């Protein structure tokens, strides 16, 4: 199967809608409002970043979109209706690679494909090979997880998430544990892959620059309770370089906004 053929097969990316979602965390002593009335719409093929300090509920929101966590109020709509559990149309890339050590790189990419109906064994293999090539790891097809570097592990995780051709890709700080050089390479790779594969991506990060580098739109979140405070549209042309001064200027504006929201919510708490 040729590369172009596979690209043509990509399903039309779908819209994702978050409607009035709230979530409490209950501990024996207290109830914490982790997410407060979140509304969000992601267009087809859009790259959206959620940025905020730790504790603002961005990972919880991503889990709710994935169907791994249930919202206490509100709902999430995906193209296949109301989200009420995890499904292969919304694949998640976690902060840790979460690769299976009992499988090699190829086996990990195959895992989701084998569970996708309507694919023959040979098609699965071709698609897995194609995605390992896409992330530049065809030579490490049969390497075991512990034999890969941190950056390579996340590349395999990316290939694994892309291979079953999900409508939406949910990424939870996938590059947070990597060194700066590897991270910058992956910013280039992910933009390239996003352009080629036309995926809808929701990307969670605490790094404002990272969000500006990757997102079409950036949503700013603040903690206690977790809220979406502001939305920024990033007008920069792609591919973007995280070290460019234009990008830095926008990132600075967002950082200032973030700071003022933090002061506000602290004053509100007092």
223 Cβ contact list (under 8 Å, min separation 6):
52, 53, 54, 55, 56, 57, 262, 265
Please provide the DSSP assignment of 13-55 as one string.
P--EEEEEEEEEEE-SS-EEEEEEEEEEEE-TT-EEEEE--TT
Least distance from another protein to the Cβ atom of residue 91, Å? 6
Site for another protein contains 241 (CB under 8 A): no
**Cβ 162 to another protein, closest distance in Å?**
12
Tell me if 174 contacts another protein by CB under 8 A: no
Count CA atoms closer than 13 A to 107's CA, side-chain side. Answer: 10
Residue 14 binding another protein, by CB under 8 A: no
> To which residue do tokens 């699965």 refer?
124
* 152 near another protein, rule: CB under 8 A: no
**Residue 101 is a binding residue for another protein (CB under 8 A):** yes
125 touches another protein by CB under 8 A? no
Encoding tokens for residue 66? 């994935």
Residue 94 contacts another protein per CB under 8 A = yes
Q: Which of residues 47-66 bind another protein (CB under 8 A)?
A: 66
Query: Binding-site residue total for another protein (CB under 8 A)?
Result: 25
Residue 2's DSSP bridge partners are none
Contact residue for another protein among 13, 52, 57, 112 (CB under 8 A): 112
Query: Binding to another protein by residue 25, rule CB under 8 A?
Result: no
Q: Which is nearer to another protein, 16 or 234 (CB)?
A: 16
Count, residues in the chain: 270
Using alpha carbons, select from 67, 8, 72, 68 the residue that is nearest to residue 36: 72
Please report, as ranges, the residues that interact with another protein according to CB under 8 A. 66-68, 86-88, 90-92, 94, 96, 98, 100-102, 111-112, 115-116, 144-147, 160, 164
């Amino acid at each position: 199967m040729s590369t172009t053929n596979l690209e043509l097969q990509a399903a039309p990316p779908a819209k994702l809608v978050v409607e009035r979602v709230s979530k409490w965390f209950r501990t024996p002593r207290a109830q914490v409002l982790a997410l407060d009335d979140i509304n969000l719409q992601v267009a087809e093929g859009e790259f959206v970043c959620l940025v905020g300090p730790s504790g603002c509920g961005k990972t919880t929101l991503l889990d709710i979109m994935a169907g791994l966590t249930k919202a206490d109020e509100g709902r999430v709509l995906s193209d296949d209706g109301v989200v009420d559990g995890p499904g292969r149309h919304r694949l998640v890339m976690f902060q840790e690679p979460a690769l299976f050590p009992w499988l090699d790189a190829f086996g990990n990419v195959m895992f989701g494909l084998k569970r996708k109906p309507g694919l023959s064994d040979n098609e699965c293999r071709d698609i897995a090979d194609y995605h390992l090539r896409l992330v530049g790891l065809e030579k490490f097809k049969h390497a075991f997880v512990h034999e890969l570097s941190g950056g390579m592990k996340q590349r395999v995780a990316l290939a694994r998430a892309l291979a079953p051709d999900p409508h939406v890709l949910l990424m939870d700080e996938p590059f947070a544990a990597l060194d700066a050089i590897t991270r910058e390479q992956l910013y280039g790779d992910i933009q390239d892959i996003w352009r080629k594969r036309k995926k809808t991506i929701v990307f969670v990060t605490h790094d404002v620059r990272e969000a500006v580098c990757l997102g079409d739109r950036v949503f700013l979140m603040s903690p206690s309770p977790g809220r979406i405070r502001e939305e920024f549209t990033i007008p920069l042309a792609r591919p973007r370089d995280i070290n460019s001064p234009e990008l830095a200027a926008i990132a600075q504006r967002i950082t200032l906004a973030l700071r003022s929201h933090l002061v506000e919510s602290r004053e509100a708490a007092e």
